[in-house]
Amino acid sequence: MFYRSSYHSMKDLCNGLEKEGYIQSKSVYNALMQVDRADFAPRFPYQDSPQPINYNVTISAPHMHAYCLELLKNYLFPGGRALDVGFGSGYLTVAMSKMMGDKGTVVGIEHIKQLCDFANGNICKHHKNLLDKDKIILIEGDGRLGCKQLGPYNCIHVGAASKELPTNLIDQLVEGGRLVVPVGGQNEGQYINIIDKGRNGKITIRKELSVRYVPLTSVKNQLKGYY
């Protein structure tokens, strides 16, 4: 993968991602332009690489955010409902809301309390209205279980690698919905899986990009070695 480190603003970053083919649509470009990564990434916010945010997790590289939004763009529509599993910094959660024109609901679930607080603070810098109006709802909980009580969802994004296909999350999709999730163990090949639930409930799975994500696991395992 080719990374560039010479970006100095969101406009430069988005233009670069568009030139490199990660941003392919006006809707994704406009959504990312509305969410300044500097509010969410403590270091090198405009560098196209993942950045640590503590607790053995990172904010994903901007090209991965763009890539996932392109996969979900037809499922992030005004009035829709989306789930962001492992929201971390909160960046993609806000971008998903912007894809809906702030007229849908994005539920974010994260199992590390400190990251929930971190994301809440980040969002409040310039997008507090989304929290106040319940356009974004942040939940502290086990993302592997999803958030059934606030579903079902038109689309689900998972920001950590599930060792197996996450059936709990698939069950929370509406018919016609889409789940984007990296699948694979930490020491084996991981691939973005696109899981679509047809109008008749039939599941189709397409394996795409090779990736490397932190594992979708328990709080204890995630924090192992951190303290």
Enumerate the active-site residues: 60
**Encoded tokens for 85:** 């599993």
SS (H, E, C) 129-192: HHHHCCCEEEEECCHHHCCHHHCCEEEEEECCEECCCCHHHHCCEEEEEEEEEEECCCCCCEEE
SS (H, E, C) 44-78: CCCCCCCEECCCCCEECCHHHHHHHHHHHHHHCCC
Is the CB of residue 81 less than 8 Å from the CB of residue 135? no
Q: Return d(Cα 197, Cα 185) in angstroms, integer.
A: 24
Beta-carbon contacts of 194 under 8 Å, excluding residues fewer than 6 positions away, are: 71, 178, 179, 180, 205, 206, 207, 208
Q: Return d(Cα 134, Cα 161) in angstroms, integer.
A: 28
Amino acid identity for residue 81 in this structure = R
